Amino acid sequence: MIGVLVFPDFQLLDATGPISAFEIAHRLQGRRAPISVLALKAGAVRSSSGVELNARSFRKALPDTLIVAGGEGVRAAADCKATLAFVRAVARREQRVASVCSGTFILAAAGLLDGRRATTHWRQTRDFIARFPKVRLEADRIHVQDGNIWSSAGITAGIDLALAMIADDFGEDIAQATARQLVVYHRRSGGQSQFSALLELKSPSGRFKSLLAWAREHLDQDLTVERLAEKANMSARHFSRSFTAETGISPSKAVERLRIEVAQARVQSGSEPIEAIAKVSGFGDAERMRRAFMRTFGHPPQALRRAAKQHEHGIAG
C-alpha cells in the first residue's frame, strides 16, 4: 500500500502529483493502485488551497511506501508526536519513506535524516540547515535517495520523485509511459538543478531582464562587467551596484550561473565533448568549467553525465 501523509494546510499538489503518477503506472499494468491518503484523524483534511482530501487515520496503516507532503502546515505537523512516531515506525520496518517539498522537515524532525543525504525546496534551505545541522542537505537537487529514505524539492519535483520510484518498482518503460500520460516532457534525474539561473534572481526587470536574456545568448563572448554596463548604457560602477541591488547577486556571479545552467543541460543531454561545451558556454576551457561544477554541484561534469545516462537507461537508484 502507498500511503500519502497529509495534515491541515498541506500543499495539494505535493500529494496529488505522486498519487496521479502511481495511479497511472498501476493502470498501465491493468491494476488498481493501492493508494491511501493518511492523516492523524480520519476525515476531510483541508489543503492550503481550501480543497479537501478524505483521509483515513494512519494509526492502523501499514504502508509499503510512505510519501509525506509539505505545505504551510508542515511546522505544526513536524511538532506532532503521533505523526513523528508513525513516520519512524514505517522507517523502522525498512519500508520506503519519502517527502515532497517541505515535507522533509517532518522526516528530519523524526530523526530519519541524521547523517543522510536529503533535499528540500530551495526557499527552505537556510532554515532547514539551521534546524537540522546533522542532515547532509543537497539543496540544489530535484530528488535524493539515501537508502530507503527519499526526498524531493518543491511541488512538481514530487512527480519526478514518484516517477523514479515507479522506475524502481516497475521498470523504465512503465516510468516513461507514465510520464507521457502525465504530459511530462521527460523525467528529470535527481541530480538536476531545482531552478533556472534566471528564476533564482530577484525578479529582474527592465534593462536588466533584457540584458540577462541577451547575455544568455552570448555566453561564448567575454561578458565582463564593463561589457555588460556598456550594453545597459551605464557606467561600470553604477551598473554593478544597481544590478546587485536589484537581482541579489553580482553581475559576474549571474553570468557564471547562466553558464553553469547552459553547460549542465548540454552535459546531461548528450555526448558533446566537455571541451566543446566549455567553449560554447563561455568557460573557455574544461578545467575552468570543472571547477565551477565542483563549486555548484560537488561533482565534475563527467559525473553528472554518467548519472544522467544511468537514469535514462533505468539503472540508477
Q: Quick one: pLDDT at residue 295? A: 83
Pick the range with the lowest mean pLDDT from 82-96, 150-164, 193-207, 284-298: 193-207
Topology at the third CATH level for domain 197-311: Arc Repressor Mutant, subunit A (1.10.10)
pLDDT at residue 67 tops 90? yes
Model confidence pLDDT, tens digit, residues 86-114: 999 999 999 999 999 999 999 999 999 99
| Each residue's pLDDT tens digit, 3-20 | 999 999 999 999 999 999
* Domain 2-181 top-level CATH class: alpha beta
SS (H, E, C) the chain: CEEEECCCCECHHHHHHHHHHHHHHHHHCCCCCCEEEEECCCEEEEECCCCEEEEEEHHHCCCCEEEECCCCCHHHHHCCHHHHHHHHHHHHCCCEEEECHHHHHHHHHCCCCCCCEECCCHHHHHHHHHHCCCCEECCCECEEEECCEEEECCCCHHHHHHHHHHHHHHCHHHHHHHHHHCCCCCCCCCCCECCCHHHHCCCCCHHHHHHHHHHHHCCCCCCCHHHHHHHCCCCHHHHHHHHHHHHCCCHHHHHHHHHHHHHHHHHHHCCCCHHHHHHHCCCCCHHHHHHHHHHHHCCCHHHHHHHHHHHHCCCCC
User: Which entry of 101, 142, 153, 219 is annotated as an active-site residue?
Assistant: 101
Q: Where are the domains of the chain?
A: 2-181, 197-311
Q: Mean pLDDT across the stretch 48-66?
A: 95
Give yes or no for residue 287 having a pLDDT over 90.
Answer: yes
| Residue 53 pLDDT | 97
Interval 291-307: pLDDT, tens: 998 888 778 899 888 87
* 123 has pLDDT over 60: yes
Is-catalytic flag, 80?
no
